[in-house]
């Protein structure tokens, strides 16, 4: 990533001088929810948190992405809240990659060193039924987040999080990403989360898409934590939901080992064949 796309973050100089909101009734970020999210997703992790600010579509606004990296430490919630306040005034959504990297500028899947949570993005279909299925087979989640979006049927889109007892790294990080992909396949969730570098909206920040301002809201939270091996076992035993994800896929012949080892793969799920397919 070139230096002209990197913001070297000084929270007071760079983002705390934003103009006040012109509308006194405008939706504002919630620092308490941001702090709770940071604890669930980064509280045990070390390194840098990649943060993204994108102008939400459908507002008639333009703006370049803002990329910052903040230390995963006790100051992270305040820094992220400062960035969220700037985003609220600029019509920018605030995302993080839910894992840590070693250096500023790193944001590829291969750069992610630690992740400490399992997440599934429910953005289509019968979302309440999908949530019930997940709770039944994987356990009550640590966080249920209303991401701000709505399906064509009017259902609230959700991010569902399970906090792990410790960060996953190395081979466990690969297993965690495979786990996220398996869960998404079985309930018809967003398959982009098979990749470690997929960004996600931060609860406590403001959703602006289509000119509809809403708080990205923690609907329900708990102090529950989960062991990765136990989550892998539960997900393996979880049946696919009828009519969604892998339950709708037509049977196909499995590729040979040579194909799995030699088929080129581009990052970010750009092709039908991904690392997850190979596994």
Instruction: Specify the pLDDT at position 272.
Output: 44
Instruction: Specify the pLDDT at position 231.
Output: 97
Residue 246's nearest CA partner among 255, 236, 256 is: 236
Instruction: Specify the pLDDT at position 43.
Output: 97
Residue 112's nearest CA partner among 159, 47, 51 is: 47
Q: What is the mean pLDDT of residues 111-122?
A: 98
Residue 217's nearest CA partner among 65, 28, 26, 16 is: 28
Q: pLDDT exceeding 90 applies to what percent of the chain?
A: 68
Instruction: Specify the pLDDT at position 249.
Output: 41
Instruction: Specify the pLDDT at position 268.
Output: 41
Q: What is the mean pLDDT of residues 221-246?
A: 93
Q: What is the mean pLDDT of residues 184-200?
A: 95
DSSP 267: G
**What gap in Å lies between CA 114 and CA 247, rounded to an integer?**
31
Q: What is the mean pLDDT of residues 33-42?
A: 98
Question: What's the pLDDT tens digit per position in 120-153?
Answer: 999 999 999 999 999 999 999 999 999 999 998 8
Dump the DSSP string for 17-41.
TPPPPSSTTS----HHHHHHHHHHH
Question: What's the pLDDT tens digit per position in 56-71?
Answer: 887 767 767 899 999 9
């Amino acid at each position: 990533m070139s230096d002209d796309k990197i913001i070297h973050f000084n929270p007071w100089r760079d983002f705390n001088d934003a103009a006040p909101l012109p509308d006194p009734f405008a939706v504002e970020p919630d620092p308490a929810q941001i702090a709770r999210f940071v604890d669930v997703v980064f509280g045990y992790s070390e390194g840098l948190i990649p943060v993204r600010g994108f102008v939400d579509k459908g507002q008639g606004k333009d703006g370049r992405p803002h990329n910052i990296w903040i230390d995963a430490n006790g100051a992270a919630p305040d820094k992220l809240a400062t960035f969220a306040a700037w985003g609220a005034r600029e019509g920018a959504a605030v995302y993080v990659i839910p894992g840590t990297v070693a250096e500023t500028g790193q944001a590829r899947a291969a750069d992610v060193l630690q992740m400490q949570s399992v997440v599934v993005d429910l953005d289509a279909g019968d979302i309440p039924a999908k949530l019930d299925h997940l709770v039944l087979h994987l356990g009550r989640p640590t966080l249920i987040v209303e991401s701000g979006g709505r399906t064509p049927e009017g259902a609230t889109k959700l991010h569902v999080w399970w906090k792990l007892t410790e960060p996953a790294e190395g081979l466990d990080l690969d297993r965690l990403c495979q786990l996220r992909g398996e869960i998404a396949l079985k309930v018809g969730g967003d398959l982009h989360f098979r990749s470690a570098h997929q960004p996600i909206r931060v609860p406590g920040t403001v959703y602006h898409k289509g000119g509809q301002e809403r708080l990205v809201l923690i609907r329900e939270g708990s102090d529950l934590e989960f062991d990765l091996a136990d989550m892998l076992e539960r997900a393996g035993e979880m049946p696919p939901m009828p009519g969604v994800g892998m339950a709708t896929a037509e049977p196909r012949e499995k590729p040979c080992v040579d194909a799995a080892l030699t088929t080129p793969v581009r990052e970010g799920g750009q092709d039908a064949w991904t690392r997850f397919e190979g596994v």
